[in-house]
A and B are shown apart, each in its own frame.
Chain A
Amino acid sequence: MSYDDHDDHGHHGSWAPIIASLGTMLFLYGFSEASMGITAIGLTILVWGLFTWWKGDLPFDGSEKMGELKSYGTPFGGMNVRKAGIWLFLMSEVMIFGTFFGAYIRMRTNWNTHWTLRDKAQEAIDGGATGTVDSIVETCMPHHHINVAACEQATNGLVNNSFWFTESGPPAYHHVAAEYITADFWTLLPGAINTFALILSSFTVVLALKAAKNVDLEPRVRDKKVRNYLTITLMLGTLFLILKLWEWNHLIHDYDFTISTLAGSFFYVTTGAHGVHVFVGLVFLTYFIYKAHIGGWDQNNAQSIEYYGLYWHFVDLAWVIIFPAFYLY
């Protein structure tokens, strides 16, 4: 992730890539076959690969020999290559969350139902119904919710129950998470706390970076400060995950809002993917804290914390968009 590559470009190789890839494969294999054993083995091997990677990184001191290359030429001239790399990586993360978001909005606005409805509305008008296509659509789906009876009337019976609902029951269009969450102050609270926790944790990463770069501090004080700020970040992130799980539990058990409804699928997978990003961030953070603990950060290599921070800010930003879209809308 952020402090990827401290290879000096001399050529000792690294075991990390092959081990981590093998772990990923076994993990996915186990998950597909619903075999907890293999899943766990895969995960273990994946972590082993990560450790191997970090072992190589621990002595990183920010020198060019250790792989901190400088970029030349437009557009990044003078910037560290790793920083350009993390920005590029974040671009693809933007697309990842953009996809989540686009698919969700498509569902929420009934985009695909909408235009088949338009066809039907036109058909109804051709058959003598009054109004325009737009007005019929508005009657059928005021505020994106479905009004079956009014719609049937407006289209002279053309768009009836069987247009909207399948034999196995109503499509779960309108039961979105926000309905339950916004119903009550106490259900909204965890999400609100989480939002603040993440924003605050973005701030503490910046403080850690500032401390690490501060040459006026005595090394011992500096190390302690860096470690403490990072630890606060870790705790805030952990709080986030705990509250999230608590909230999921609440939605599932008290409201029966499960993953097997359409809105539930989107809600749990999207917020879950965000949660995984937070979790991965925390895993990396433990490495940073360990390095701070042994006094590994100073002004020469603290940019690694900065790059980590870029990722962490991104995760924060993603949440700031997810929260209103999934919890309030």
Chain B
Amino acid sequence: MQLRYVFTELRSGLRRNLSMHVAVILTLFVSLTLAGCGMLLQRQADKTAEALGNELQILVNLCVVDDPNGSPTCGGGAVTDPQRKAIENALKENPEVESYEYQTQEEGFEEAQDIPQYEPYFDGPDPIITVEDWPPQYWVTLKDPKEAEGVKSAVEGLEGVSVIQDQREDLEPVFGIIDSLKYGSWIGSGLLLLASLLLVANTIRLAAMARRREIGIMRLVGASTLYIALPFLLESLVTAAIGVALTAGALAAFTRFAILDGLADVIEFVPWIGWDDYVQSLIGLVPPGILILGPALTLIPTLLLTRKYIKV
């Protein structure tokens, strides 16, 4: 296939509609950046909830050997199986409890690795905190966040319970901020995505108008639909590529300056997202990452509209 024509057309198409293409790229850039921030914030919320529980959860730490809290209910050293059974029963029977989950020492220790404030304790050849020091935990989800006293008093005095952690008051503002930022990003992103769809549609229409004569002749002499559509598709792909590249840069800056050098230094009891989450926001499948979202947003309307304008 001879593609010289396609590339000549691509170049003249990009030049002809330069202002429209710039408009598409900018809206796409801002909307994708907002979508990406929304995805990162969602991952932040998930990660926080995984490590510290969400705003509906309290944590029941069980005893370990040489319990650091020196709790009188830890007299017998590490929690025993019968003690654990009794604690679990108390949770099962309590009307304030929606559900509960048991987390082993290993699982808890693993989750805690990402929390900045613990970092110094895990470091070195002879770390201050090891797996054995990390308490096994019950993660208790409440039916009503305002009613926790009943379950707390039911479990508090039981043998094998070291301490009850209720971090909901600390976590609430964190989740509150993350949630409002997240929904803000998504709404803004949604509106701008709509705007970029309309801009793409308009660009295609203008381009099809400008090339009406050529398209008519191409159809007449038997050029394939794909061949006729190719300059349009490539034009869209170029704008998408530029939009995506700008977005990847902006999200990298967000991850670097807002998260790693910003929030993570200030709020230390929360595990923060990092570069692996950034990569996911680019290439993830669910929710679709920027690398999928950007081209899809320009190519799908282009395909639909070129089908309409160049119908054989």
- Do A and B bind? no
Chain A residues near B (Cβ < 8 Å): none
Chain B residues near A (Cβ < 8 Å): none
